[in-house]
Amino acid sequence: MSNQWTPFPHDDEQPSGRSQGESPQQPQQSYGQDDTQAISTSSTGSTGWSASNGPGPSAGHTATYAPLPPPAAETPRRTGRTLSAAVLAGALVLGGAAGVGGAAAYDALNGNGSVSSSNGPDISASNRNASASNTGGSAEAVASKVLPSVVQINVTGSGESGSGSGIVLSKDGLILTNNHVASVAGDNGSMRVDFDGGTSAPAKLVGADPVTDLAVIKASGVDDAVPAEIGKSSGLKVGENVVAIGSPYGLGATVTSGIVSALNRAVSVQSSESDGGQSQQQDPFGLGEQLQQQSQQQDQTTTYPAIQTDAAINPGNSGGPLVNLAGQVVGINSSIRTSGSGSSGSIGLGFAIPMDEVLPIVNQLKNGETATHAQLGVSVRDNQSSSRPGALVATTTSGGAAADAGIEKGDVITKVDDVEVSGSDSLVATIRGHRPGDEVKIQLYRDGKEQTVTAKLGSDGGGSDS
C-alpha cells in the first residue's frame, strides 16, 4: 500500500485539459534506489507514505496527497482560479495557489520580481498566555481579532492566474504565504494583495523556500497593515478548538472552525509525479519549456510534522492562518486530503505547517538570507518488519550527524526524542521540526537490541551539498 502527498490544484482550475482527474500519482523515486529516501541536507520527503503515519486507505488502495490547489470551479468564475497545486484523485492538496509545479517555478521568483529584504526586527511568537479567555473563547471573537490580519493574494503568471491567502506580519506590509501560492507569478508575473478593509496593493517577493513551502512577500506603499499575533504551536493539544481563515475558491474572509485532530502527522507533498522512474512534472501554470528545463533540479518534496484539523480547508486557503482561541496564529494552512474522483473539497482532513517550524524560516527569508534546514545525514526507507515499524537506515553520510552519533547502515530508528517514528516519512517530518544545531535523542534497534544515541543535527547550508 502506497500513499503520496502532492500539491493542491487552483480553485478555478478546470478539470478538462488538466491532469487532476487522472489516476493517483505513483510514488516518486527521488532518493536512492527502490523505496529508499534520503534525509540529507534538507531532510526532504520519502518515496512513499506509511499508512501508520496517518489516515490511510484500505489495503490495496493507493492514495495521493497534494498541496491545496485553487478550488476546481465547476461553474465560470469572474475572477479566475484560486491558486494551488493540481488536485489528483484521493489527493492531499495544498490549500492555496500554485500546487503542482510550484517548486519548479522557484528560480523565476528570484528575478526582477523580487524586492530587497526587510531590516526590521525578527518576527517572534507572543509570550502571552494562549488562553481562550483572551478572546472570549469563541470563533466569533477570534474572527473579529484575526480577520484584519488575513489577506487574499491574487497572482498572475504566464498564462495563469489565481488567488491564495496570506498573513500580515508587519505594519509596512510584510506578508507570509505558501511558496506554491507566490511561485505562480514567476519572473514576469504579478501579485496583488487585497486587505480586509477593502484596500489593495501590488506586492513583490521578498524570499521563498520550496523545501518548507513558505514565502514572504511585501505589499507596496503600506504603512497601516494589522500584524497578526503569532503563537506557539508547541502548546497545542489534540482536541483543542481552532479556527481557519482564508479565501477558499476566492471567497475572501471565510472563517471555519474545528479541532486539532492530530499533531506531528507526517505529511509529504510532492511537486511532481513519477511514472516508471521518470519524472513527469505537471505544468498547471503554462511555464512550458522553462518548466521542463527546471524540472529536474526543481522537483521538490515538502515534508513536515503537520497539525491535522477538521476545520474546513479548501483550495484557496493556502497560506492562511490556523488560529487558536486566543487569536494567535499557530499554523499555516497548506494541504488537505480529498475523497478522490476529481474532487478537491474538504472532507475534514486538513493540514497546517506548525508555526514553530515556520518562524525561523520566515526570519531568514525576510532578512534576505537563504533558508537552512536540519540535516541528519542518512538515507532511509520504511522498515518492512511488521513487528518493529520504523525507518531503516540504508546509508549514512560520512561526517554527518548520524554517522558522528554512531548510527549505522541497517539500524532501525523508532523514536526521536519523545516522537515515535513509524517510517521514513515520519523520520523526515520529525527532523524537519528541528533546527540545525539541535541535539536529539534517537532510539534505534541494531541486531534486535535497543540503543539510544544523541545526535547534533547538521545544516544543509541553504541547500548546498554537504
Cβ proximity of 281 and 349 under 8 Å: no
Give the contacts of 188 (CB within 8 A, at least 6 positions apart): 112, 113, 158
* The pairing of beta strand 63-64 with beta strand 3-4: parallel
Half-sphere exposure of 203 (CA within 13 A, CB side): 34
Distance CA 424, CA 222 (A): 44
Give backbone dihedrals phi and psi of 148, rounded to 5 degrees, phi first: -65, -15
Residue 193: beta bridge partners? 153, 201
| Residues 135-162: b if buried by 16+ CB within 10 A, e if exposed | beeebebbbebbbbbbbbbbbbbbebbb
Annotated catalytic residue, options 35, 213, 310, 411: 213
Q: Evaluate whether 232 touches 125 at the Cβ level (below 8 Å).
A: yes
Tell me the pairing of strands 161-168 and 150-156: antiparallel
Residues near 157 by beta carbon (within 8 Å), at least 6 away in sequence:
105, 184, 185, 186, 189, 285, 286, 287
Q: How many CB atoms lie within 10 A of CB 74?
A: 9
Q: Give Cα separations from 338 to 64, 88, 181, 197, 342 (angstroms).
A: 9, 8, 19, 33, 9
343 tagged catalytic: no
Would you list the DSSP string of 198-254? S-EEEEEEEEEETTTTEEEEEETT-S---PPPB--GGG--TT-EEEEEE-GGG--SE
Catalytic residue among 233, 318, 346, 379: 318
Q: Is 187 a known active-site residue?
A: no
Q: CA 276 to CA 287: how far, in whole Å?
A: 24
What's the CA dihedral at 24, 30, 34, 39 to 10 degrees? -120
Active site residue 10: no
E strand map for 360-448: 374-375, 378-382, 391-396, 412-416, 419-420, 439-446
d(CA 97, CA 195): 17
Catalytic center residues: 180, 213, 318
